[in-house]
Amino acid sequence: MSHNILVTGATGFIGGRLVKGLLQKGHQVIILKRSFSRIDRIRDLLPHLYSYDIDRCDLVQPFREFEKIDAIIHLATSYGRNQESLSDIVDVNTLFPLRLLEAASHFQVHCFLNTDTYFNKLPFPYQGLEGYSLSKRHFREWGAQFARLQKIHFVNISLEHVFGPGDGDSKFVPFLIRHLLKNAAPLDLTPGEQKRDFIYIEDVVSAFLYILNHAICCPTSYQEYEVGTGQSVSLRTFIGTAHKLSHSITPLNFGTIPYREQEIMDSVANIEQLVSLEWSPQYTLERALSLTIAHYASQTDRED
């Protein structure tokens, strides 16, 4: 069945892929973006989307112009990696989605799907991205409060380490692969024993679609999902696999960088809730890495 789905963060790495997946499922997709947002990832999709620039219109405009919005998928986020102030990070990660949640409640949107981070498994803000993790945690708590008051069905989706072609160059996996493909200078690394649940972007999109389909039909007021493969691997294994698949000769200097204080040494998704929806990841680590490496290799060839 087709539904009206409003998406924030549609111009981002996950958002661009998810919007495409929603359209393929026959949904009508409304996106909120900024007038100056880069649209490279969704340029070919724009004719099929209803787009609103939130810096040029009232936030409630799409709710007034559409008879019914069935669900909101909130992906927009600020990591604070570009020298943003704490107040700017809080505005993007807490205040903006809170205003959106209030509008959704007022206009009787059935469900709000919020994107959270595995960093927030910690009982304290993740070091290095304190503003990001703390502001995301605050909004999750507001969402839970709205659900307790029966104002909306709030779904919190905690993502593990997502990767794939087209992610931001400053992210760990793109940086690693580009460095390896260039056979660049030795790469200084931590000992690499910390474990992460690496999940390919297409499996993440698939999980969102399964969760959305269930949430629209489900009367429950609050739900949580962890999205990953359900298995963690050490960074040493992940980096070694990427090194082998890229045929790199870059020396890997494990142990030259110390772990950050209070480092997360093992993060893995509990995917029981997703499995109950009959979802399962379809990409092995090697296949996902091979596809990602091929993407960046083709980019490197064009640059040369």
pLDDT of residue 179: 95
Among residues 52, 79, 126, 132, the one annotated as catalytic is 132
- Where residue 1 falls among pLDDT bands split at 50, 70, 90? confident
Do 97 and 187 lie in one domain? The reply is: no
Asked if the model's pLDDT at residue 304 lies above 60, the reply is no
Q: Residue 291 burial by CB count (10 A; 0-12/13-18/19+): exposed, middle or buried?
A: middle
Do 142 and 247 lie in one domain? The reply is: no
Number of domains the chain is built from: 2
For the chain, give the percent of residues with pLDDT over 70: 98
Do 32 and 148 lie in one domain? The reply is: yes
For the chain, give the percent of residues with pLDDT over 90: 87
Do 8 and 89 lie in one domain? The reply is: yes
Do 183 and 77 lie in one domain? The reply is: no
pLDDT, average across residues 49-75: 96
- Where residue 40 falls among pLDDT bands split at 50, 70, 90? very high
pLDDT of residue 220: 83
| Known catalytic membership, residue 132 | yes
The structure tokens 């009367």 sit at: 219
Q: What whole-number distance in Å separates Cα of residue 208 and Cα of residue 189?
A: 33
Tally DSSP H helices, then E strands, for the chain. Answer: 10, 13
Q: Which helix (H) or strand (E) holds 181?
A: helix 172-181
Asked if the model's pLDDT at residue 202 lies above 90, the reply is yes
- Where residue 208 falls among pLDDT bands split at 50, 70, 90? very high
pLDDT of residue 301: 55
- Could you say which of 130, 159, 188 is where a domain stops? 159
Do 122 and 24 lie in one domain? The reply is: yes
- Where residue 205 falls among pLDDT bands split at 50, 70, 90? very high
Q: Is 201 a domain residue?
A: no
Do 111 and 177 lie in one domain? The reply is: no
Round the average pLDDT of the chain to a whole number and report it.
94
pLDDT of residue 218: 84
pTM, two decimals, is: 0.95
Q: Which of 217, 220, 232 is nearest to 266 (CA)?
A: 232
pLDDT, average across residues 266-276: 97
Do 152 and 28 lie in one domain? The reply is: yes
**Domain containing 248: what range?**
172-196+230-268+283-303
- Where residue 251 falls among pLDDT bands split at 50, 70, 90? very high
Do 150 and 83 lie in one domain? The reply is: yes
Do 8 and 86 lie in one domain? The reply is: yes
Q: Is 167 a domain residue?
A: no
The alpha carbon torsion through 273, 207, 118, 292 (nearest 10 deg) reads: 140
- Condensed to tens digits (0 to 9), the pLDDT of residues 151-165 reads 999 999 999 999 999
The enclosing domain of 60 has a CATH number of 3.40.50.720
